Structure 1
Amino acid sequence: MRNKKNDGAGDAIHIRDAIQQLLKTYHIKPKFDEASLIASWDKLAGKAIAKRTRRLFIRDSVLFIELDSPGMKHDLNLHKEQIMDLFAQEFGTSIVKEIVVM
């Protein structure tokens, strides 16, 4: 009979937790979260805004959104706080500290 010191059953963790731990260990979680936000823009902002988004990038925790519709620029400026709350809800942390609509 074999002596089973550690069969690994007690060490199992969820894959999501393992990936999060890996991202933190290599100090790349903030960049990963930023890339995830950019990739999720269509879903988060909606199709109408996503269609009119010319450029989207994050620099120093500031999200820059360039739109081709003056009306949407105005609407987005009015709803910046709600958008930041949506990001925090979706990603669990505040990825962006400020939003600049161009």
Structure 2
Amino acid sequence: MKPRNKSEFSRQADVVSLKDGIQALLKAYRLQGKMNEVYVVSSWERIMGRAVALKTQEVYFRNGKLFVRLTSAPLKHELFMAKSKVADIINAEVGEVLIQEVVFL
């Protein structure tokens, strides 16, 4: 059995990290936008807070718009008045302009 030298275990120049590989794959197949949409929906409670999440029935995307179905009319009115701020908070969380408009149902 031949002893292995240190150079056989060293990282090669063409080897990339898993994170970089996944990001390159998402970019190549233009899936980053969908991944960001899934991230926003799954992180709704963390982004908007527990009080809003408890009164949220449904969150989904369609054509660059975020649709949020709420069970509380007063909360719906309050968020409607601040919908541009809600969009800004979510876009800042994602790091890109993902949402053009927020629609409260």
TM-score in terms of structure 1 length: 0.83
Q: Which has more radius of gyration?
A: 2
Q: How large is the RMSD of aligned CA atoms in angstroms?
A: 2.0
- Match of 1:94, SS? coil
- What pairs up with 1:1-102 in 2 under 5 angstroms? 8=11, 10=13, 15-102=18-105
**Structure 2 unmatched ranges of 5 or more:** none
List per-residue Cα deviations over 1:64-85 (Å, max 9, x = no partner): 0010101100111111111111
How many residues align? The count is 98
**Structure 1 unmatched ranges of 5 or more:** none
> Where does structure 1 differ by over 3 angstroms across 4 or more consecutive aligned residues?
7-18
TM-score in terms of structure 2 length: 0.81
List per-residue Cα deviations over 1:11-59 (Å, max 9, x = no partner): 5655444322221111111111100000000101110110100111100
